[in-house]
Amino acid sequence: MKLALALSTLVLALLLASLSLGYAPLPLSAVTGGVLGAGDPLHVMVMQQIRLPRTALAALVGAALGLSGAAMQGYLRNPLAEPGLIGVSGSAALGAVIALQTGLSAAFALALPLPALAETHDHDAPHLTEIAGLRALHAWTRASSGREALVFVELENTGGGSVLLTGAESGIASDGALVGFVLKDGQPAWETLASVPLAAGRALHLEPGALAIRLSGLSRALTEGDHFELHLETDHGALALHVEVAAADARQHSHAGHSH
């Protein structure tokens, strides 16, 4: 509470400083009068047509950036998450460069920002997530009306150190765990694993007949074409996965083998 109060006071002080400082500094009385439309006409014009819009725009943009950053970090459960983590910055830069190099940016006013925005909507964006160099692609599960589901995903550790997978959780299940395929008395079964290490520069495919994430206590049936969110727990934080529901007899993700 004290921190929030201190930060609010600091923001208010900076807003007042933005209004009073400029080519010609104004005292607080002149700032107040100019904002309210009273006092020297010159001060009123400077405040209402220049400084007040500038300050309001800066406050709104800063608030929007803060909220979007907090939303991203909360969704990914990673306090260090930023747009570059999921490729937004790089894709936007690529679109802007294309517009500049092709001369499209000179055609009309929105020719530069539109390609930058378009490039951020990569077709793999919902399928690809990343945290601390650990990339997850094409998370999927089978359609089921039961209380359990196995989730499969392609993982790649592009970071410089080992990553330890420790578990999973989802809002549609009461429990999530890493499991490995085994044969018990000649019968197929899935055995719970406490953790699974993934060395730097290596890939790991959670797939049928090998490894999986088991969700138990499902709160609803999973129908083909449906999707839900899941968090893969690691020693570097939680990696958000967008899981798609495939056919009940599917053996792989519908995009498996697709070139990226």
- pLDDT, one tens digit per residue, over 31-86 is 888 888 877 787 788 888 888 888 889 999 999 988 888 887 777 666 766 676 66
pLDDT of 87 over the 70 cut = no
Mean local confidence (pLDDT), 222-243: 92
Residue 104 pLDDT exceeds 80: no
CA distance 66 to 61: 9
Backbone φ, ψ for residue 9 (5° rounding): -65, -40
Question: In this predicted structure, what is the pLDDT of residue 118?
Answer: 63
Confidence bin at 257 (pLDDT 50/70/90): very low
Higher pLDDT, 173 or 93: 173
What is the rounded CA–CA span in Å between residue 18 and residue 60? 14
| CB-CB contact of 150 with 179 (8 Å) | yes
The domains found in the chain, sorted by start residue, are: 2-76 (no CATH), 88-119 (no CATH), 128-246 (2.60.40.1890)
**Contact indicator for 238, 229 with CB cutoff of 8 Å:** no
Summarize the confidence of residues 227-243 as an average pLDDT: 92
| Cβ atoms of 165 and 196 closer than 8 Å | yes
> Given this model, what pLDDT does residue 112 score?
67
Burial class from Cβ neighbours inside 10 Å (0-12, 13-18, 19+) for residue 1 reads exposed
CA 206, CA 251: separation in Å to the nearest integer? 12
pLDDT at 85: 62
Instruction: Provide the percentage of residues in the chain whose pLDDT is more than 90.
Output: 41
- 255, pLDDT greater than 80: no
**Tens digits of per-residue pLDDT, 191-216?**
999 999 999 999 999 999 999 999 99
If phi > 0 it is left, if psi is from -120 to 50 it is alpha, else beta; for residue 145 that is: alpha
Checking if the pLDDT of 123 tops 50, the result is no
Backbone angles phi, psi at 101, to 5 degrees: -70, -30
Q: CA dist 191 to 25, 72, 194, 212, 233, Å?
A: 71, 34, 10, 10, 18
Structure tokens at 212: 């999986």
